[in-house]
Structure 1
């Protein structure tokens, strides 16, 4: 705590207000290696340094970045033209060899992005500014997959022996964990994990000529885990922007002189996952030594025992949109009421299902839960645990920081957990292949921490991932989502409404991806 306040004090007294930004959120980024951890804060901060071939524009459409054109030559071949004159932060030129290298690095077993890298096919450098991607099967959302794949410098990685992503799950370390060399709008100045990370403007960035670019010359990100401290830091002027202000403080911040709040629904589904693979609970105790989560009636009972409206109004202060869908955005489920509508909150029905499933007296289980990733995440786990107690299910909430939580669940070292999935992409594919499909090769099921095996859903999802006819694909996506919904393979809770609180002099477009693009931030003179 002393280090935190010291960092804030230095920031408050040393930075030039008009062209600097000091911002905070409850958790730190996990690594500077852009290929080793697929987590929002990590991705968004790394994207200030490393860039994608395409980028999300202000209206959420896809626009050019390191690529200026992407053309489908035939159903199994895409040609990508690269931007000329781009340089990495060390001055070395950007070329097709860096793209090919990065795509291969992203396909590594250590990378959680391999599902997306495999989806865009095998890259080949045609000339210094052209890359062709050869696919084994059609990809109807090729460009949407590109926006998950950051580009690194081949020679820099080779020189520093980081040609493979670090194994984050096993707490591996490498040079890229604390050092960077990208092409993006900002360059790393210093990194103190858990304390602060500072970046400065890249004067040679290719995108700086755009009329809508911001004026930030330097920014520092300071993670502040305590809700009250985070709010106080904004009110007292120690930080300029809070990405995740506590929901209970939002209205007070709206009324505070010199501050403002902008908000919108995030493209992210918050849900509960359950181990459906093991025959007995890894962390818990149930009659007969069984795993209750393998029984669909138990999963449905737990779902119907959740009073989602109470969670929305009392815990989330209205900053949540309850849903029964399994997609980050309602657009991904085509706004279909049959997919969006929740199963009803019905304790009597839930108790009956538990009796029918053979668990009239419930069972005991541990729920793994992050305490600095989602809005009120630990409190949400505690609330769900108290509701399930009415089914005689005794839940021990095992709360931990995101740096401990994600490696744990990624190793499938869990019986029950709270998580979220989403980002900039609204398409259902971002949930179907990584999270819901049976674990398989090439990254399929990389985020299936529940060990879901739903052969009907898997076949429909696989078919939808290669169907290029929009009407046929829509039918396949809906059928796949319905198959997972019927089996209650996950328990959906809500989509978060994300408020950003900031000083009145800051101008920034709110993002449904909850992604702060600092190159768009404008800070007025105080």
Structure 2
């Protein structure tokens, strides 16, 4: 069995609230291609340090405050675990909860595994689950993740190993959100003694224990010798910050590092030509886009947003910038996410229509805007292409490149005009996409960096998260995404394909569709 520690019967979980519940107890399926797993090995070798080189440092390590996947990647399924987890096909499997049932449409009961301890020795039990979610849901905590769990009215301890989540309303994708990083269960001892320290020193139940964080340099985790499940093969993992793309690849080739999970597409040929490195590719759940801050001039005028939407030649970006890695997006939801619709049509490339709209908006003589991007090579290249394209309609684009942490800080404060962004759906469900990106309650850190607010859109998103009928949910998402396109909130660019370079002396890792690096079974030869 590929996922770590238990034997679970094959099956599929899907919930139609109030109608049916089928509990899946399935081993993750075997990879269909060699890319699904780095490589096979002849019996696992023990020990060694896995070094992962990355473009940027984490921003914070508290799952209640992490708002970006690169930071979550450090702790997800490594330091922290949730009640449930997704397998390679994003089907939900037991983790800290061994089983669960829906008592009625709004009451979910979880039976917990026994004998598990947090890294600081605190016992894992129903009270620990309650303390984690009570902290998350407390308005005083001011967690940007609170809205994702706003349907939870109460966390009820039934007995030491049984906990109930009482919901305000039926919520179909509850298990998918519990399986995400936001659903991580935190040590109650750490929460009681020094919750602020969790941003720098995470304490969970996972197979790795936090060791140290040298800001701007590296974060290290060590094997949890007291882990309740199958222990990792490796002794340590170090996430090392190396901003230069070429240097990261050179470190893989020389053996200084084993994995580079943030690889520019421009380096694919170099990787494939190397006898020391190999390339890992897998489809993702994320979508990349150009987003407008609709509260700032000139983007508070829908005609300006539509004009720029008409003037960006998206196909040229996919081919010229991304070398056809990933596919052309038609909406802010990947085809791999539940809720996707192929009926949504973005604005076509039409410079005459773009000029006409700018004239109507009073910008016949042109305008100046700033385009913000993080320092990823492809995004800088994309910004330059867009800068060139928008000259054709008289829009003068100033490109602002920021280190990833500073970029996140800026968009979370709404200080940008327009920005190249991406949404890495962490659950595979449309609610995670729509509620976080477009609902009025999610403006700022939770994900709505467009600062978009539309009461009709809010109502449709809320209706979709409460709807138990699959076909009705799909129809609601189709309707709401068309409305977001009509309002020209963003320009969809690319459905992600995640790529990584790795040393040929390492095996057993994989990237899941949300771009999390999974290292439980890693072997270093």
TM-score, normalized by the shorter chain, greater than 0.5: yes
| 1:194 Cα deviation from its structure 2 partner | 1.1
Does the alignment pair 1:83 with 2:113? yes
* Aligned position for 2:518: 517
* Aligned position for 2:150: 118
Does the alignment pair 1:208 with 2:212? no
Query: Which of 377, 380, 402 matches 1:378?
Result: 380
Query: Which of 155, 168, 172 matches 2:189?
Result: 155
1:262-301 CA distances to partner (integer Å, 9 max, x unpaired)?
1022211111221223xxx4xxxxxxxxx23122222122
| 1:516 Cα deviation from its structure 2 partner | 0.4
Q: In the TM superposition, what are the counterparts of 1:269-308 in structure 2 within 5 Å?
A: 269-277=287-295, 281=296, 291-308=297-314
CA–CA distance in structure 1, aligned partners of residues 395 and 520 of structure 2: 48
Query: Which of 253, 261, 266 matches 1:248?
Result: 266
CA–CA distance in structure 1, aligned partners of residues 260 and 505 of structure 2: 14
Distance 1:428 1:488, change over 3 A: same
TM-score by length of 1: 0.86
* Aligned position for 1:60: 90
* Aligned position for 2:363: 359
| 1:110 Cα deviation from its structure 2 partner | 2.8
2:120/2:187 contact within 8 Å kept: no
CA–CA distance in structure 2, aligned partners of residues 466 and 434 of structure 1: 15
* Aligned position for 1:397: 399
When the two chains are superposed, the root-mean-square deviation of aligned CA atoms in Å is 2.1
CA–CA distance in structure 2, aligned partners of residues 425 and 176 of structure 1: 23
Query: Which of 252, 258, 263 matches 2:276?
Result: 258
Does the alignment pair 1:131 with 2:163? yes
1:48-97 CA distances to partner (integer Å, 9 max, x unpaired)?
11111111212221111111122111111111111111111122211111
2:444/2:451 contact within 8 Å kept: no
CA–CA distance in structure 2, aligned partners of residues 394 and 95 of structure 1: 58
5+ residue gaps, structure 2: 1-44
Query: Which of 149, 153, 172 matches 1:140?
Result: 172
CA–CA distance in structure 2, aligned partners of residues 445 and 519 of structure 1: 30
5+ residue gaps, structure 1: 1-15, 163-173, 282-290
CA–CA distance in structure 1, aligned partners of residues 339 and 101 of structure 2: 27
Q: In the TM superposition, what are the counterparts of 1:106-505 in structure 2 within 5 Å?
A: 106-107=136-137, 108=139, 109-147=141-179, 148-160=182-194, 162=195, 174-208=196-230, 215-277=233-295, 281=296, 291-334=297-340, 336-339=341-344, 341-372=345-376, 376-439=378-441, 446-505=446-505
| 1:445 Cα deviation from its structure 2 partner | 8.9
| 1:22 Cα deviation from its structure 2 partner | 0.9
TM-score by length of 2: 0.86
| 1:348 Cα deviation from its structure 2 partner | 2.3
CA–CA distance in structure 2, aligned partners of residues 386 and 376 of structure 1: 15
Q: In the TM superposition, what are the counterparts of 1:29-68 in structure 2 within 5 Å?
A: 29-47=58-76, 48-68=78-98
| 1:17 Cα deviation from its structure 2 partner | 9.4
Where is the helix percentage greater, Structure 1 or Structure 2?
1
| 1:18 Cα deviation from its structure 2 partner | 5.8
